[in-house]
């Protein structure tokens, strides 16, 4: 077996990792069937700042399947309207607010995703007490296919998930190649978009769009002036503006956009928990807190967004703001 991993770092194409797996039959006889399965057990509902094994932070995983992108995914299934069961997001109707971790096939033993039928993808979920204990039981779980759990949407609980595929028989000396994207997205739409972008990357043979270079901002390039306004200074040369996109053969610099984070006060985990009247350990059933939330560093929305565009400078207007090459 040989594994090759591709980390894609381009903008819009950095929410997934491509996993290319080569299964080689180096024996002298054919293998009747090759089955590849990827099992995951993401405890994605963890809402305790520091580990406390008496606190049931793992109980509300939700596993789901999206037929459009053949996505097996898991998300945070707790109550986003409760700080004691989430991070206090005041929007309980947004059940897809949490981050989803997912995987989707791009090519299975030479068959691209566009030619795969739904029955070629095996989607399963189960709880800890249902873990298959033998090779035979694991094979049975990995080869349900048409009888799998794509149409069974479970209630929140502590779950694992499996997505598996059959590569058919493998003759002596032959190789079966599986290409799978492991991805994440903040919400269902973003998760689907990450899957769509992974498909584009595969279709383009990893030759991704090449945006113009980012501007350079010095350490003192962002200051607050005497009027209380923020000044942003950056460097971007005429040569960079005129540079050609290697795929298009033409310059595609469109201008600059400046965004700012929401003007929220700096808070720490301790501030939020105190305001909501909650604690990290399960005080009604005992348990010892490991760590101290009040020791955490205060943070602002700059770390996580949301962001608002405050200035759009099209290429034709760059000269209005530029001077001395800056």
- For the segment 132-161, the average pLDDT, to the nearest whole number, is 85
- For the segment 4-20, the average pLDDT, to the nearest whole number, is 71
Report the percentage of the chain scoring pLDDT > 70: 70
C-alpha span between 189 and 193 (Å, rounded) = 6
pLDDT at 91 over 60: no
Mean pLDDT of the residues in the chain:
77
Half-sphere exposure of 73 (CA within 13 A, CB side): 31
pTM for the model: 0.67
- Alpha-carbon dihedral of residues 52, 54, 58, 59, nearest 10 degrees? -160
C-alpha span between 255 and 315 (Å, rounded) = 4
Q: Residue 285's pLDDT is what?
A: 52
Q: Residue 173's pLDDT is what?
A: 93
Question: Closest Cα to residue 107, out of 176, 48, 158?
Answer: 176
Q: Which residues contact 7 (CB under 8 A, 6 or more apart)?
A: 17
Q: Which residues contact 219 (CB under 8 A, 6 or more apart)?
A: none
Sorting pLDDT into bands at 50, 70 and 90, what band is 230? confident
Long-range pairs, 129-133, Cβ under 8 A, ≥24? 131/160
Q: Which residue has the tokens 């580990």?
A: 51
- Consecutive H or E run containing 240: helix 238-242
Q: Which residue has the tokens 């691209």?
A: 112
- pLDDT, tens digit (0-9, with 9 covering 90-100), for 38-63: 888 776 655 444 444 455 445 566 78
SS3 198: helix
Q: Residue 92's pLDDT is what?
A: 41
pLDDT at 215 over 60: yes
C-alpha span between 56 and 215 (Å, rounded) = 46
Output b/e per residue, 80-117; b: 16+ Cβ within 10 A. Answer: bebbebbebeeeeeeebbbbbbbbbbbbbbeeebeebe
- For the segment 2-27, the average pLDDT, to the nearest whole number, is 75
Two tokens, residue 71: 């996505």
Q: Residue 131's pLDDT is what?
A: 85
* Between residues 213 and 128, the one the model is more confident about: 213
The answer to whether 30 and 171 are in contact (CB under 8 A) is yes
Q: Residue 278's pLDDT is what?
A: 63
Half-sphere exposure of 96 (CA within 13 A, CB side): 12
Q: Residue 75's pLDDT is what?
A: 75
Domain ranges of the chain: 2-203, 222-263+301-321
């Amino acid at each position: 077996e040989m594994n090759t991993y591709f980390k894609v770092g381009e903008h819009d194409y950095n929410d997934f990792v491509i996993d290319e797996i080569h299964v080689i039959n180096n024996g002298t006889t054919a293998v009747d069937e090759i089955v590849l399965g990827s099992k995951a057990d993401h405890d994605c509902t963890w809402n305790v700042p520091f580990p406390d094994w008496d606190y049931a932070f793992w109980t509300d995983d939700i596993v789901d399947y999206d037929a459009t992108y053949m996505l097996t995914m898991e998300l945070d299934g707790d109550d986003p309207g409760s700080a004691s069961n989430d991070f206090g997001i005041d929007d309980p109707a947004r059940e897809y607010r949490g981050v989803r971790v997912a995987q989707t096939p791009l090519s299975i033993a030479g068959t691209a995703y566009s030619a795969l039928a739904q029955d070629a993808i095996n989607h399963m979920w189960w709880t800890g007490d249902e873990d298959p204990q033998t090779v035979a039981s694991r094979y049975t779980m990995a080869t349900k296919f048409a009888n799998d759990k794509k149409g069974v949407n479970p209630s929140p609980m502590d779950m694992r998930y499996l997505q598996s595929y059959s590569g058919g028989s493998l003759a002596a000396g032959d190789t079966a190649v599986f290409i799978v994207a492991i991805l994440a997205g903040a919400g269902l739409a973003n998760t689907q978009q990450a899957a769509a972008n992974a498909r584009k990357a595969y279709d383009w043979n990893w030759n991704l769009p090449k945006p113009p270079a980012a501007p350079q901002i010095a350490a003192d390039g962002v200051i607050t002036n005497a009027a209380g306004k923020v000044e942003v200074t950056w460097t971007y040369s005429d040569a960079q503006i005129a540079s050609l996109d290697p795929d298009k053969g033409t310059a595609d610099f469109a201008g600059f956009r400046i965004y700012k984070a929401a003007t929220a006060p700096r808070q720490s985990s301790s501030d939020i928990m105190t305001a909501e009247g909650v604690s990290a350990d399960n005080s009604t059933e005992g348990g010892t807190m490991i760590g101290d939330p009040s020791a955490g560093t205060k943070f602002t929305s700059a770390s996580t967004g949301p962001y608002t565009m405050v200035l759009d400078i099209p290429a034709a207007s760059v000269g209005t703001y530029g001077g001395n090459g800056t």
